[in-house]
Amino acid sequence: MNNMHAQILTLFPDMFPATLGQALAGKALADGKWSYTTTNLRDFATDNYKTVDDTPFGGGAGMVMKPDIIHAAVQSLPRTGRMIYFSPRGKLLDQKLAKELSAEKTLTLLCGRYEGVDQRVLDHHQFEEISIGDYILSGGEIAAQILLDTVIRLLPGVLGNAETHAEESFSGNLLEYPHYTRPAEWEGKKVPEILLLGHHQRIKDWRLEQQLAITRARRPDLLERHNKGEYGNQPAAKGENDDK
């Protein structure tokens, strides 16, 4: 079993585990399927004011996190593992990257604040930059939680039914089909009849048609990748142009 350990470098250790302490991730934490430590960057400040940031060389707005402090914090860690810095200019987090990270033993997660971190310490430790989307957060802590959430649910034994992964949105590059549960009629709206007939192959076909239609309407970029057989973690479901 892959017990994953996250070493989180942050100015706000009390922001963890937050959502990761409850529900699926919380149970996995209690079961020892993953663990984490926080390192408070401020503990490595050397002056009486506990300064961790300074004004940018070259001028401009905001403050920059100091390289010496981050370096000292990294050096205090028992292991290194995969070094990740959260940044809007990083590689976009997607399901493929989450899957890749779920095979790691140790993730070192550096959460930025202010305008970000001095470039030299990122280069020195070869931090890999990851973004959770094209928008600006006020800090990397939520990004770390989002990344960990995507990774934790992929760890062996965390989700009960292994098939859940295979059928999820993005696994095979198609968005998910619509779900329905009881009652079969609600507010005058009926569940699609095909789902009530118990014909498994026809249900499968219907769901794939739904996936293709929803993906075509909402994410033509994903449909294109799907039809080219790119990117999915699972063997792709049949494409639009395949023989049926």
* Amino acid present at 99: K
CB nearer to ligand SAH: pick between 73 and 236 = 73
C-alpha angle 238/240/242, rounded to 5°?
A: 60
Closest separation in Å from C-beta 146 to ligand SAH = 8
CB nearer to ligand SAH: pick between 142 and 203 = 142
As a whole number of angstroms, the distance between CA 1 and CA 103 comes to 10
133 touches ligand SAH by CB under 6 A:
yes
Residue from the set 1, 14, 135, 163 that interacts with ligand SAH by CB under 6 A: 135
CB nearer to ligand SAH: pick between 97 and 166 = 97
Whether 61 and 37 have beta carbons less than 8 Å apart is answered as no
Closest separation in Å from C-beta 226 to ligand SAH = 26
What are the Cα distances from residue 73, in Å, to 69, 77, 235? 6, 7, 42
Residue from the set 88, 97, 167, 216 that interacts with ligand SAH by CB under 6 A: 88
Binding mask 95-124 for ligand SAH (x = CB under 6 A): ----------------xxx-xx--------
- Residues in the interface with ligand SAH (CB under 6 A) total 18
67 touches ligand SAH by CB under 6 A:
no
Nearest C-alpha neighbor of 118 from the set 165, 77, 71: 71
Q: Which residues of 95-127 are buried (b: 16+ CB within 10 A; e: fewer)?
A: bebbbebbebeebbbbbbbbebbbeebbeebeb
149 touches ligand SAH by CB under 6 A:
no
